[in-house]
A and B are shown apart, each in its own frame.
Chain A
Amino acid sequence: DTAVSQTPKYLVTQMGNDKSIKCEQNLGHDTMYWYKQDSKKFLKIMFSYNNKELIINETVPNRFSPKSPDKAHLNLHINSLELGDSAVYFCASSLDVNEQFFGPGTRLTVL
């Protein structure tokens, strides 16, 4: 069984478009996250969300917005895509302050 899944695995799109990446976890975790990993492999947390609060990394542009329809899903919406948004995006989940379980990643390429 897949613990944390993301779709799509690859996403190629033009500058200015709006796109979404979906994430689902079947671990019963209470907190989900989105990370951006750039070409130099730096892993930067973008959002942390549980049923009580959304914590946003202040450096993330407001073109990025997380949407959680329920506890098992945290989708990432990106408006007006820019070249610099090209990266691998990882979804993750955890139960409180514990091990993070990562999804397989979505490689986004903006042309």
Chain B
Amino acid sequence: GENVEQHPSTLSVQEGDSAVIKCTYSDSASNYFPWYKQELGKRPQLIIDIRSNVGEKKDQRIAVTLNKTAKHFSLHITETQPEDSAVYFCAPHNAGNMLTFGGGTRLMVKP
């Protein structure tokens, strides 16, 4: 199976600062790269995704960058707010229907 690692496992930032979470994967056939956010006691929900033919994608304060050569992609959150506090998961996905989630990053935004 695919090896997926997320770093850091916990991240504490001050409100208004930026946060970056990195995901590395092993399967060069991966072609879909989503990030999910899971708030406490809730289900994971997609916040942004990118496909292998694109290097960067932005949606307001959130962006994802992809480096297929190095096999990693990153989640960038700017102007963090307390409601950004959650656990974030990457889940690189290939054409098959078995995917692997990263170990999660707990982001804490201090007001």
A and B held together in a complex: yes
Contact between chains at A103 and B43 (CB < 8 Å): yes
Listed A/B pairs (29) with beta-carbon separation below 8 Å: A31-B97, A33-B97, A35-B101, A42-B101, A42-B103, A42-B104, A43-B89, A43-B104, A45-B98, A48-B97, A48-B98, A48-B99, A50-B97, A53-B97, A55-B96, A55-B97, A90-B43, A97-B31, A97-B94, A97-B95, A98-B32, A99-B46, A99-B49, A100-B36, A100-B91, A102-B43, A102-B44, A102-B45, A105-B43
Count B-side interface residues using an 8 Å CB cutoff. 26
The distance in angstroms between the C-alpha atoms of A38 and B24, with both chains bound, is 22
**Interface residue A22 (Cβ < 8 Å from any Cβ of B):** no
Least distance between B7 CB and chain A CB atoms (Å)? 15
Contacts of B43 in A (CB 8 A): 90, 102-105
Looking at chain A, what size class is its interface with the partner chain? 20 to 34
Chain B residues touching A, majority SS: loop
Interface digits, A16-44 against B, CB 8 Å rule (1 contact, 0 not)? 00000000000000010101000001111
Known A-B contacts A98-B32, A105-B43; A55 and B98 likewise in contact (beta carbons under 8 Å): yes
Minimum CB distance partner of B30 in chain A: A97
Contacts of B103 in A (CB 8 A): 42
Interface digits, A44-84 against B, CB 8 Å rule (1 contact, 0 not)? 11001010010101000000000000000000000000000
Contacts of B91 in A (CB 8 A): 100
The distance in angstroms between the C-alpha atoms of A3 and B18, with both chains bound, is 33
Contacts of B45 in A (CB 8 A): 102
Contact between chains at B95 and A100 (CB < 8 Å): no
Contacts of A102 in B (CB 8 A): 43-45
Least distance between B92 CB and chain A CB atoms (Å)? 11
Known A-B contacts A90-B44, A97-B31; A44 and B101 likewise in contact (beta carbons under 8 Å): yes
Contact between chains at B104 and A41 (CB < 8 Å): yes
**Interface residue B65 (Cβ < 8 Å from any Cβ of A):** no
Contacts of B96 in A (CB 8 A): 55
Contacts of A90 in B (CB 8 A): 43-44
Minimum CB distance partner of A107 in chain B: B41
